Structure 1
Amino acid sequence: MLELIKLTPDQLEVGMFVSGLDRSWLETPFKVQGITIQSQEDIRQLAALCEYVFVDKQKSITLELDTGSQSSPSTSNRSLKRAAAKARPRLEKSEYLEGRELSPYRDETDWHTEYPEATKAVTTLSESVEGMFQALGRGDRLDLLGIKQSVNPMIDSVARNPDACIWLARLKQSDEYTYQHSVACSVWAVVMGRQLGLPKTDLRSLAIGGLLFDVGKLKVSDELLRSPKRLTGADLDLVRQHVFFGAEMAREKSNVNADITAMILQHHERYDGSGYPDGLQNQKIHVFARIAGIVDCYDALTSHRSYAPAIAPSQAIKHLHEVKDIEFQAELVEEFTQAVGIYPAGTLVELSSGEVAAVISEYRTRRLRPRVMVLLDENKQPLRNVRSLDLMETTHDDTGAPLDIVTSLPPEAHGISLSDLGF
């Protein structure tokens, strides 16, 4: 008898037979209806396309795994039971967003139209944040009004089309990590809020909270913050005090709202209670702080740090999915993935032709076939004239072979600096 089990992509394992999707197979790059999961790449592709799939339990028992061995019925049953045990009833947005008014956004501009406006907005924001950090470092009080004014153009740009601001958020320098990290997290938080359909008043709180949740690190020594090794013991305890230092700075301005304060205090809390400072769990963590935790983790993983190199965005998304409902709420991880995509704007990718390109746009609606800008030829040599390529329209290379994205690359791979491109 046919026995199908509905699973989310993070519950899939190698060897399972996926017989159905939450969409038509024609909307996917898979050539047949029904696939055996042969690798983690198959799972990643399914996660990029689907919110849930249907696994045929009987076929999963007998199909070969990518190791070349066969799984026994007991092994496959254990895998399916383990996956099913991870499942919990998914929450509706109205439940985890605390009844906030939601309204979906639609793209109003394309990437090329929005890029000049986004550049002005992010430049203004960066200059404002740099000045804010310098002023706070001198002991001045937080200029909340100035911050509100500086985030508004960025919020407006993201609301129209987030592609350009996401591209600019990727252009970070490793020697300015705290300052640039704050700007990028502000952008990611607003992009996430847009995906959720939050009103602009909430987007403003997310933007400001993203700028401020690490501001307490100004009271921690650079020696600790730039340590080439992971901290432990008393040093780690001291760095963790930054959440209290930041909250104290914010409280000096009585009109910092509760959403922003929660982002500062709780962005290191984790969904399973393993975070700090209070070990809060699940819905006891403010929803904006849950968002802050995700964007903080994602931007840290995709940025150069003193103790770890940057990883590719797709790897960072994979990590977030691996810790769903452990460190971060599953619904919010899935929304963040929808918002930034597997290959967000500014991601370097290698094509099946051997060429290297940067993703420009359409990464949210066409996750595996976005628009890209080809920068290096098949020998990884710079092209004299870079060219734009729509992978939805151009499906084969000059030799007639299928043209696809093979993998995403870490920032600055092959010596590429996106900030040098100019438009």
Structure 2
Amino acid sequence: MNQLQRVSITKLTVGCYVERVSKQLGDVRVVQTGWVRNQKSIDDLKKKGVIEVIIDQSKEMQSNKVAAAPAKIEQPPIKTKQLSFANEFDQALQTYNQLEKAMQDIEQRVISFQPINIWQLELLIHAILESTKRNPSCLLCITKIKTIPDSIIGHSMRVAILLAATHHLVTKKQENIISLILCALLHDLGKYKLAGQLQKQDHLLNSYLKIQRHKYCQSTLQILSNSGGAPEDTVLLCQYQLVNLQNEPKSAIELAQHLHPMLELFMICDTFDSLSSGFEGEKSISSKACYQYLIKKSPLQFNNTLIKRVIKQLGMYPAGFLVQLESGKLGYIKGFKDNNTSTPLIHCFYNVKSKLYINIHEVILSAELSDDKIEANVLASQFGLDLTSHLSSL
């Protein structure tokens, strides 16, 4: 009896015997045969771009020969050193550029019907999380300003960074955090193949076009499968999109119960960015209006308590958002004094009343001390400004 079986890299477990590599990324052939003795062996295969192997089920390793994981010694968590916006800027910008390049590569591979490198994204997520630990606002600010509002890559990246900044509200488990942020980066994979007329929100399409558009969810799951698979919770989050769009309430409820808090946070961040960035034909609205929309749709669509916690974490005007002050000054939210979102730090560079650039300076708004206030959340396009040219560590 044939004991050979194809297994995606995410399903490969310690104790299996790898007969050969059956699918990989890149042109350099990976030759690998032998026992999988520990998790490091699996990680090494992922690093080499292996996404599928053939295992020999007749050669399953005996449990006493599997390399035992070293006993974990409980140690106090290492506290990440907090950095100022200026000191974190270069590292955050490098992480942003690496992520953008990886996402552009994924887009091209999807369009070319090639498997994607999920492992590369997992590695980048660690860099994202470290950056947000060092400075909660810097990477968020860079991503909001540099990404294209109505683009799949831009939307995916913004949602990922929003989740990186808020994940602790629902989970502290590393594997859950990775799955959650991966979902943000991967949940719209199938949309890269959609015709332009289908890259719009459902309410902007007729019944026939809606059905055609919804095929992107199945396409996303197929791409993940062909690429060796993603973490289970990432796949489940993507599956939820499919059953929800296909109006399968029973399946949607079952998935929602399994994913509960992670799904709730994902939906909040995904919807928040779609509305505030004008993604897929939506009219861009202010961050305040986004929060009001989310609260209005709770508790049926969103968790009201979690929305309030997200607002407290991100601020009424999150980092990277452009605001106009009552004085006429224009600037973007650069961060918050002492990480207190009630005291935003605004990088001012323009005056809308005089329509002139002004000397760059920072304004800290405090309800008690400031004689200026935020009048509105605005778009750079309203004033013909290129906000990316004003993004700096200064």
Assess same fold via TM > 0.5: yes
2:308 maps to 334
How far apart in 2 are the matches of 1:356 and 1:111?
A: 19
Specify which of 354, 374, 378 is matched with residue 348 of structure 2. Answer: 374
Pairwise mapping of residues 410-421 of structure 1 onto structure 2 (< 5 A)?
A: 410-421=379-390
* Residues 177-230 of structure 1: per-residue CA shift (max 9 Å, x gap): 111111111111222213445233322222211100111112322232169981
- Structure 1 residues 422 and 357, CA, compared in 2 at 3 Å: closer, same or farther? closer
1:360 is paired with a residue whose SS is: strand
Specify which of 209, 216, 224 is matched with residue 250 of structure 1. Answer: 224
The CA deviation at 1:292 is 2.1
Please tell me whether the aligned partners of residues 350 and 358 of structure 2 are also in contact (alpha carbons under 8 angstroms). no
* Residues 90-113 of structure 1: per-residue CA shift (max 9 Å, x gap): xxxxxxxxxxxxx9x988222222
Specify which of 250, 263, 270 is matched with residue 289 of structure 1. Answer: 263
Pairwise mapping of residues 24-103 of structure 1 onto structure 2 (< 5 A)?
A: none
Please tell me whether the aligned partners of residues 166 and 345 of structure 1 are also in contact (alpha carbons under 8 angstroms). yes
2:381 paired with 1:408: no
Q: For structure 1, which segment, 177-186 or 333-342, has the greater mean C-alpha deviation from structure 2 after superposition?
A: 333-342
2:182 paired with 1:208: yes
User: Percent of aligned pairs with the same residue?
Assistant: 15
How far apart in 1 are the matches of 2:154 and 2:217?
A: 18
1:75 maps to none
How far apart in 2 are the matches of 1:228 and 1:236?
A: 6
The CA deviation at 1:286 is 1.9
How far apart in 2 are the matches of 1:320 and 1:162?
A: 23
- What's the TM-score once normalised by structure 1's chain length? 0.66
1:170 is paired with a residue whose SS is: helix
2:220 paired with 1:220: no
Matched letter for residue 235 of structure 1: L
Please tell me whether the aligned partners of residues 195 and 338 of structure 1 are also in contact (alpha carbons under 8 angstroms). no
How far apart in 1 are the matches of 2:163 and 2:240?
A: 15
The CA deviation at 1:364 is 8.9
1:23 maps to none
1:162 is paired with a residue whose SS is: coil
Report how many aligned residue pairs link the two structures: 312
Specify which of 140, 161, 166 is matched with residue 166 of structure 1. Answer: 140
Please tell me whether the aligned partners of residues 202 and 210 of structure 2 are also in contact (alpha carbons under 8 angstroms). no
- Structure 1 residues 213 and 371, CA, compared in 2 at 3 Å: closer, same or farther? same
The CA deviation at 1:156 is 1.3
Pairwise mapping of residues 269-288 of structure 1 onto structure 2 (< 5 A)?
A: 276-279=246-249, 280-281=252-253, 283-284=256-257, 286-287=259-260, 288=262
1:10 maps to none
How far apart in 2 are the matches of 1:407 and 1:205?
A: 35
How far apart in 2 are the matches of 1:175 and 1:405?
A: 22
Q: For structure 1, which segment, 199-208 or 119-128, has the greater mean C-alpha deviation from structure 2 after superposition?
A: 199-208
2:208 is paired with a residue whose SS is: helix
1:60 maps to none
Please tell me whether the aligned partners of residues 220 and 239 of structure 1 are also in contact (alpha carbons under 8 angstroms). yes
- Structure 1 residues 393 and 330, CA, compared in 2 at 3 Å: closer, same or farther? closer
The CA deviation at 1:394 is 9.0
Matched letter for residue 274 of structure 2: A
1:140 is paired with a residue whose SS is: coil
1:349 maps to 323
- What's the TM-score once normalised by structure 2's chain length? 0.71
2:277 is paired with a residue whose SS is: coil
* Residues 368-388 of structure 1: per-residue CA shift (max 9 Å, x gap): 431111122361523342111
How far apart in 2 are the matches of 1:173 and 1:229?
A: 25
1:240 maps to 214
- Structure 1 residues 223 and 352, CA, compared in 2 at 3 Å: closer, same or farther? closer
The CA deviation at 1:268 is 7.1
- Structure 1 residues 197 and 334, CA, compared in 2 at 3 Å: closer, same or farther? same
2:334 is paired with a residue whose SS is: strand
2:104 maps to 130
Pairwise mapping of residues 108-119 of structure 1 onto structure 2 (< 5 A)?
A: 108-119=82-93
- Structure 1 residues 364 and 216, CA, compared in 2 at 3 Å: closer, same or farther? farther
